[in-house]
Amino acid sequence: MAQKIKSSPVRTFGKGWIFNVKYSHDGKMLAVATSIGIYLFDTATHQEKLFLSGHTDYVVSISFSPDGKLLASGSDDDTIKLWDVKTGKATMTLRGHGNDVTSVRFSPDGKLLASGSDDHTIKLWDVKTGKAAMTLRGHGNDVTSVRFSPDGKLLASGSDDDTIKLWDLHTGKLVKSFVGHTNIIEAIAYSPDGTCIASASDDMTVRLWDVTTGENIQTLVGHRDFVIAVSFTSDGKSLVSSSDDGTIRLWNLATGKEVKTYKGHTGFVWSISLSPDGRHMASGSRDCTVMFWDMEKRKPVATIDGFTRAVWSVQFHPDGSTFISGSKDNSIRVWDVKGGTLIKELNGHTDDVNCVCFSPDGRLLASASDDETIKLWAASTGQNMKTLREHEDYVVTMQFSPDGHYLASGSDDNTVKLWDVAEEKSVKTLKGHTSYVWSLAYSPDGKFLASGSWDALIKIWDIKEGKAVKNLKGHTGYVWSLIYTPDGKYLISASDDNTIRVWDIEQGAHVRTLKENDEAVWCLAVSPDGKYVASGSGDNSIFIWDFQKGAVIKKLEGHTNIVESVHFSTDSQYLIAGSDDGTCTLWKLKESK
């Protein structure tokens, strides 16, 4: 089987999280940096032109070269990549930072690239050779933003140490520090004439600084949450800022007054970019949309959606034609497996959706959330049939009984509840764990329920009696996932102690440990034929195990963050995986004929 499993997914669902947006210098393209790569959109049609992939972690910063031929990207994988904008191919990878690369910026002449990092340093790179020409040290915390002066002689940097620093690029010496903010500096911008620097901060203000004197000459107050992005208009007379309060604001710098507010996003606005002609603005938000705004009318003229936040849970429909995903953006999505399209989105939860599952007959869909509720939905229509409320903290895990009559749920209130699905009410509460219950598994005959907890204990409950009949001890960390083998003889558990353990249920004994690396194991699935086990790892990969041999037969790589959930199709031919990178991947496991 190992030789037949493809090393790349058949299909990826979702576009990932949005981190940064940037207009090209001619205004014809918009680059969007996400958790899985970079999208290039045509600004006239708003259609995707290219997708740039190659980073192994989130892409958080992007910058076009002045001639528009190159795009630089900074990533949480500690590297910078230079891309040919025409072909979408990476031409160079720059290595040297010791932590996330948070900001990249080309110099005005395009010969240098500046980068800021969580390693507290700034590096200047020769774009032609890819070599580091200079390293600037002086910040006492993560560097969040770097910007060249318009003449290219100076570089400004903002940091989590609450300061902005100005550097002479000829000598590499620190010219001055700008002190006044009382919280993290999220972004900085140079005025077009080079006389002023603007800074956006978690202290909810935007400040303007005189480059020559270092004085704070203006403070703009109005945002009600962290200010994340800032940009001058091309004439230098106005300033645009965006915030975690969900708004974008336009400020008149002559008066220091807010003159326009742009409202439309329903989440934090993390990035803004002004078109070169100043008529339009693009914004990227936590609400998983990119909006194009008419600056004068204050209205979005187009929206690009389909971006997705962390996926906590996935499951195939029993007939294999669709699958569902539960996400950090509070939604449940129903996807078409064959077509790769989104069929519908179910909304109603007010916090993260931690777990989703179909009833055995496929007619119902259940979702569990940090809003402390469970919702039951009609799978065919997406109608919310019932909301179950009894847990007193986050509801993290759920599973239907094999006959579909009951639903079990586990919560951060340390309890397991059993719900009668037809009556839509709780019939039992199982107490015994001393910490959060994050994993559940019904035995194939439906007589027993296993629960795993942050107390590192696995309990086996007799459903009829409502009592724990076995305690399985051995894990030294949180128990993230549980699954019975199809014959009911074994229970398999995954933990943040970096191990998978196999338990003989009749004996109540640990019989085998599976371990591939030193990363936490977040999720498990067993193929319906009982031959294979899939596990999601903290190293962003999926391992396929031969259960009888206890050996890895394939490592699947393609995600840029933790794999939170895996599930086999009923015919054991496919595996679906959900990740913190905001995407789901479909993998074909059946041998080719």
Residue-wise pLDDT for 573-585, tens only, equals: 999 999 999 999 9
- Sequence spans of domains, the chain: 311-588
Would the pLDDT of 1 be above 80? no
Residue 140 pLDDT greater than 60, yes or no: yes
Judge contact between 156 and 185, C-beta under 8 A.
Answer: no
φ and ψ at 537, to 5 degrees? -115, 160
pLDDT of amino acid 517 = 82
Write out the DSSP string of 134-189. Answer: EEEE--SS-EEEEEE-TTSSEEEEEETTSEEEEEETTT--EEEEEE--SS-EEEEE
Which residue is listed with tokens 């910078």?
A: 80
Position of tokens 């230079």? 82
Proportion of the chain above pLDDT 90, given as a percent: 96
Tens of pLDDT along 390-433? 999 999 999 999 999 999 999 999 999 999 999 999 999 999 99
Which residues are CB-contacts of 71 (< 8 A; sequence separation ≥ 6)?
A: 31, 38, 40, 52, 62, 63, 64, 65, 82, 83, 85
What whole-number distance in Å separates Cα of residue 7 and Cα of residue 586? 11
Q: Extract long-range pairs of 284-289: CB within 8 Å, 24+ residues apart.
A: 284/18, 284/19, 284/20, 284/21, 284/32, 285/18, 285/246, 286/18, 286/329, 287/329, 288/17, 288/18, 288/329, 289/18, 289/265
Structure pTM? 0.92
The confidence score (pLDDT) of residue 85 equals 97
CATH 2.130.10.10 is the classification of domain 311-588: yes
What is the per-residue pLDDT for 593? 45
Confidence of residue 163 (pLDDT cuts 50, 70, 90): very high
Cα distance between residue 479 and residue 63, in whole Å: 42
Q: Give the model confidence (pLDDT) of 59-106 as tens digits.
A: 999 999 999 999 999 999 999 999 999 999 999 999 999 999 999 999
**pLDDT value at position 516?**
86
pLDDT score for 591: 54
Q: Does pLDDT of 592 surpass 50?
A: no
Amino acid 187: pLDDT: 98
